[in-house]
A and B are shown apart, each in its own frame.
Chain A
Amino acid sequence: MSDELYAQMKQTVIDGEAEEAAALAQQGLDAGLPPGEILDKGFVKGIEEVGDLFGKGEFFLPELVQGAEAMKAAVAVLQPAIDAAGGARRTLGVAVAGTVAGDIHEIGKTIVCSMLSAAGFTVSDVGCDVPVESFVQKVKETHADLLLLSALLTTTMPNQQKTIEALKAAGLRDSVKVMIGGAPTTRAWADEIGADGYAEDAIEAVVTAKSILGVG
């Protein structure tokens, strides 16, 4: 019975059906299944499969994004129960991602968020045109392991640097790794501003994130 439900949960993530994923998560809780087990035996299997299919070139980006959305919808239902049970969700790491102040280009950052979610990170997407203080606040609040800063304009790239400076000022720099990206940015710029990682596309971003956190 529960095996069948887990299989449905896996499938709903592969199908990218967020509402159905949320409903199945609730159904699992109502049936008295342990929330951590629902996640690990059901939904996580689905997102692993999605990531695998994408890696093999058999899945397209919208399918990956919608798989990640379904995963997120299930986690939203399960998280309170996991917290109540005193357990922490197993994750590769908590990431905060956004496009820096003055810049409203967000699609690249959104793709990176989806790919990180699909890879097993817990991602908090804080959107675009994000003030330096908001990044700092979010890192503090989520105990983030990783902060990803996107900039698509040469004029907004300095805000990546300012955010890193602000993390130092708030005493958070040692507890969080920082990655930067965006078309005009380079590895040299990342080094110059003291970022821990740089990636030129979303696929490389996942590889880099895992590597600098030493996970996966």
Chain B
Amino acid sequence: MKDLPTSVLNSRLTLLSDEKCQMIYDAALTIIAEIGMTLPHAKARDILVNGAGATVAANDVVKIPRDAVAAARDTIPEMIHVYDRNGELAMQLGGYNSFFGTGSDLMSIYDFETRERRQSVLADIGRMAHLCDGLPNIDFIMSAAHPHDVAAYASYLESFRAMVSHTTKPMVMTAAGVDDLEVMWKIACELRGGAEELRAKPYFIQYGEPVSPLQHAPEVLDKLLFCADWGIPLIYSPAPIAGATAPITHAGHIVQAVAESLFGVVIHQLRKPGSPLLTGMGPVKLDMNTVQALYNSAEYYTTYLGITEMAKWMDIPNWGYAGTSDSQCVDANAGLDIAELTLLSMQAGSNLNHDIGYLDFGLTGAGESVVITDEVISLNRRTLEGIEVNEETLGLETIAQVGQGGDFLGAKHTKRHVRALQWRPTILNRNTQKNWEADGSPDLTEKAHRKLTDIMASHKPEPLSAEMKAKIDSMVDAFVAAGK
């Protein structure tokens, strides 16, 4: 089994003190216990009333006593192990470990061949999965593209089929409702050999979000309960927009998100204590001049670091971000955004980081962005790997041998360590001017495109067995044929 990139950081980027975390947490409990949230779901209300002594007011507004939140936090697993299609351990979500993947459902994509922006289709999902399968630092995938050529009710399940067919990497799924989610789960059970086998080795994670401010949608709650029942790891993470659907201040933005997540956590843990769950927040900032919901801005990063720190403080695995840009194309602007957010995620120890490849405020995707982010992750995983200090690495023996004025190129010590110590880029420039010009003077985007083209041509994702493919096709086809 390969070594997973678990964190060795001794210190972390931190913006909150223990006292501030406690203040935010207490304020979140006040929202849950005294302000309440809309819960238009009878079963979920019953669970809270019977299990936690919650009260239900008019308009389905539910308030949960403070101590029920503490009880729920006690039963959430601190670490979630996720396995790939073949059952190999692929991610350990928790602590300060950082794993990375794409985002979902982008409306447009830069075509892999023509490089023109166009509406995304089902085939793009398979292509993105194929690309990610060939990128060693992409740990999981989401659909990346919305299939405009598929009927809406079937779009998520068709995305699932395209993803499972083009990569062995684990997946984070979105679903229309519990019906298509159930088919995804059944397929995953087939791959593992049973429901309990899948519970022991989760293959996919389900994404769900509360609706800010302070509302929980019925279809999302259906999925939440289904995931709790079957041990499908669930992300319950809102995307409140600062100044629009949440307070504009960092602390207010964070406290509302913590409250919205924890409200779902209580339902989830009462339904099945110990079921795996991640919290987080899309720390969306509305640019009040251009009226765009930003993925990359100073205030976004600040709030993001705050919510991530809160998850650590609460000992709950977290859902985070990486590799996004608000640029319109893969340019230097995108490179800067990608590098900054990705490094911040690692420094904060954010666990499950998605949306790699996002451009244009989460509307357009680019494979070249994913390739560049893969390189950024590789660079920073190595950078933050730590420093081994022992007799051999201190090198006193070789320093004595070389002495004054010699060189270490001929030293055995150098040769022993050079291969393990040298990080090698795949697309960052290491060429001299002359060689770079001879290569056609490519910029980073061009290099990323060349690598993308090479992976699509030469990397062959491990195919499903014919038998498994037939099973999956029959399950998906039956759902699609039933219509909606």
Min distance, Cβ A193 to any Cβ of chain B, angstroms: 22
Min distance, Cβ B438 to any Cβ of chain A, angstroms: 12
Q: Mark B386-422, 1 if CB is under 8 A from A, else 0.
A: 0000000000000000000101111110110011001
On whether the beta carbons of A61 and B407 are closer than 8 Å, the reply is: no
How many A-B contacts if CB must be within 8 Å? Answer: 35
On whether the beta carbons of A110 and B405 are closer than 8 Å, the reply is: no
Min distance, Cβ A97 to any Cβ of chain B, angstroms: 14
- Chain A residues with CB below 8 A from B458, complex form: none
Q: Is A104 an interface residue (CB 8 A)?
A: yes
- Chain B residues with CB below 8 A from A204, complex form: 432, 434
Q: Is A111 an interface residue (CB 8 A)?
A: yes
Min distance, Cβ B468 to any Cβ of chain A, angstroms: 38
On whether the beta carbons of B410 and A60 are closer than 8 Å, the reply is: no
Please report the C-alpha to C-alpha distance between residue A61 and residue B409 in the assembled complex, in whole angstroms.
Answer: 7
Min distance, Cβ B443 to any Cβ of chain A, angstroms: 21
B→A interface (CB under 8 Å): 405, 407-412, 414-415, 418-419, 422, 432, 434
On whether the beta carbons of A60 and B422 are closer than 8 Å, the reply is: yes
Known: A200-B432, A201-B432. A110 touches B407 (CB 8 A): yes
A→B interface (CB under 8 Å): 16, 60-63, 65-66, 69, 104, 106-107, 110-111, 114, 200-201, 204
Please report the C-alpha to C-alpha distance between residue A61 and residue B407 in the assembled complex, in whole angstroms.
Answer: 12
Q: Pull 9 A–B residue pairs with CB atoms less than 8 Å apart, ordered by A.
A: A60-B422, A61-B418, A62-B409, A62-B414, A62-B418, A63-B415, A104-B405, A114-B409, A204-B434
Please report the C-alpha to C-alpha distance between residue A107 and residue B407 in the assembled complex, in whole angstroms.
Answer: 7
Known: A69-B410, A104-B405. A60 touches B432 (CB 8 A): no
- Chain B residues with CB below 8 A from A65, complex form: 409-410
Known: A60-B418, A60-B419, A200-B432. A66 touches B407 (CB 8 A): no
- Chain B residues with CB below 8 A from A114, complex form: 409
On whether the beta carbons of B409 and A110 are closer than 8 Å, the reply is: yes
Please report the C-alpha to C-alpha distance between residue A17 and residue B419 in the assembled complex, in whole angstroms.
Answer: 17
- Chain B residues with CB below 8 A from A107, complex form: 407, 409
Q: Which 9 A-B pairs have the closest CB atoms?
A: A65-B409, A62-B414, A62-B415, A60-B418, A62-B418, A62-B409, A65-B410, A107-B407, A69-B410
Interface hub of B409, B415, B418, B422 (most chain A Cβ within 10 A): B409
Please report the C-alpha to C-alpha distance between residue A61 and residue B419 in the assembled complex, in whole angstroms.
Answer: 10
Closest-by-CB residue of B relative to A57 is B424
- Chain B residues with CB below 8 A from A63, complex form: 415, 418
Interface hub of B415, B418, B419, B422 (most chain A Cβ within 10 A): B415
On whether the beta carbons of A111 and B432 are closer than 8 Å, the reply is: no
- Chain A residues with CB below 8 A from B408, complex form: 62
On whether the beta carbons of A106 and B407 are closer than 8 Å, the reply is: yes
- Chain A residues with CB below 8 A from B407, complex form: 106-107, 110
Known: A16-B415, A200-B432, A201-B432. A62 touches B405 (CB 8 A): no
Min distance, Cβ B105 to any Cβ of chain A, angstroms: 39
On whether the beta carbons of A66 and B405 are closer than 8 Å, the reply is: no
Closest-by-CB residue of B relative to A200 is B432
Min distance, Cβ B431 to any Cβ of chain A, angstroms: 11
Min distance, Cβ A80 to any Cβ of chain B, angstroms: 24
Interface hub of A62, A106, A107, A200 (most chain B Cβ within 10 A): A62
Please report the C-alpha to C-alpha distance between residue A159 and residue B408 in the assembled complex, in whole angstroms.
Answer: 27
If A62-B408, A65-B410, A69-B410 are given as contacts, then 17 extra A-B residue pairs at C-beta distance below 8 Å, sorted by A number, are A60-B422, A62-B410, A62-B411, A62-B414, A62-B415, A62-B418, A63-B415, A63-B418, A65-B409, A66-B410, A66-B412, A66-B415, A104-B405, A111-B409, A200-B432, A201-B432, A204-B432
Please report the C-alpha to C-alpha distance between residue A107 and residue B341 in the assembled complex, in whole angstroms.
Answer: 39
- Chain B residues with CB below 8 A from A110, complex form: 407, 409
- Chain B residues with CB below 8 A from A62, complex form: 408-411, 414-415, 418
Closest-by-CB residue of A relative to B414 is A62
